[in-house]
Each structure stands twice: as structure tokens, then as C-alpha cells.
Amino acid sequence: MKRVLLFILFAAGAPGGALAQQESMGQHGMQAAPAAGQKTAKGTGLIQRIDRDKGVVTIKHGPLPALNMTAMTMTYTVRDSRQLANLKPLQKVEFELAYDGKDYAITRIK
């Protein structure tokens, strides 16, 4: 049901789209999975929130064409959570995002 509703939301172009995507991905994974196999993309973004306990970071980032992703705000797992140690909210970061056909994870961020 939620996927259907989210589709409606995106199709409508409602301005709430970014956070809706954020919640959707954080809790249920991506809607449209690319082909199987590891894919990566380099991106630039602005950190919104850091949860060091969970090892996740929420980033407002630009488009990631290599992963067929538009600009959005999204929460991602950071594979090596030690990389979160020196990050601050509203810091501009460069990062690398990997997709293995199932999950997205940040492999590098600084």
C-alpha cells in the first residue's frame, strides 16, 4: 500500500517528495532496483543528520546518474561507521555510494 501511495506522491510532483523518499528508503529499500551487480556513483551532498549509533547518515545530495538517481535527501548506511567520526551536520561532503542489487551503502565519505 505504501508503495502505491508513494508512487502517487512522486507522480504528483508534490514538494514533499524528498523526505517521503528518505523514509521509504530508510525503512523499505529502493523502489526500483537497477540490474544486479555492484554499481557505484560519486556524489556531493550536504549532511542533514548523523546517527553514529546506527551508522547512518542523511544527505541532501545532487544527482547520481551512474545509479539513475535524481537529487534527493536520503538516509544511507555507512559501511565503515568510523568515517562518521569527524563529520558534522550541514557539512558539505564528497561520497561514494554503492549498490549491490539489494542495498545501498556509502563506501567512502569525507
Partner 1 sequence: MSITTRRKFLAAFAGAGAAGLGGVLWRRGAALAASDRASQFTNRLRLPAESGLYAAVAAKDVKQLAASELNFEVLPGILSPFWAYVAEVGGKRLLNPTLLARSGDSIKLSMVNRLKQPTIIHWHGLTNDDRNDGTGVYLAATGKEYDYAFKVRDRAANYWYHPHPYGFTAEQAYMGLAGLFIVKDDDEEKLARALDLDLGVTDIPLVIQDRSFSFEGRLEYRLTRDQIFMGFLGEEILVNQTARPYFDAARRVHRFRILNGSNARSYQLAFAQGGRLLDYHLIGTDGGLLERPEKVREAFIGAAQRLDVLLDLRAASGSEPVFLKSLAFDPMHNESFDEKTGKPPAAGVVDDHAAHAAAGTLPDGAEMLLLRINVRSSPEYRGQIPSRLSRLPKLAVGTGEPRRFRLGHDGNGNWTINGWRFNMHETPVTVQRGAREIWLLQNNRASMPHPAHIHGFQFRVLERRDSPAQVRSLATRNNGLLPQDLGLLDTVLVWPGESVRIALDFSHPFSGDQIYMFHCHNLEHEDTGMMIGYKVKA
- Closest CB to partner 1 among 62 and 107? 62
- Closest CB to partner 1 among 3 and 100? 3
Which residues make up the interface to partner 1 (CB under 8 A)? 5, 8-9, 11-20, 22-23, 44-46, 49-51, 59-62, 71, 73, 88-92
Q: Can you say whether the dihedral through the CA atoms of 81, 32, 34, 61 is positive or negative?
A: negative
What single letter denotes the amino acid at residue 97? L
Strand ranges inside 1-110, DSSP E:
39-51, 56-61, 72-78, 92-99, 104-109
**Number of neighbours of residue 46 by Cβ within 10 angstroms:** 15
- Closest CB to partner 1 among 38 and 86? 86
Smallest distance, partner 1 to C-beta of residue 68, A: 17
Smallest distance, partner 1 to C-beta of residue 30, A: 17
Smallest distance, partner 1 to C-beta of residue 35, A: 26
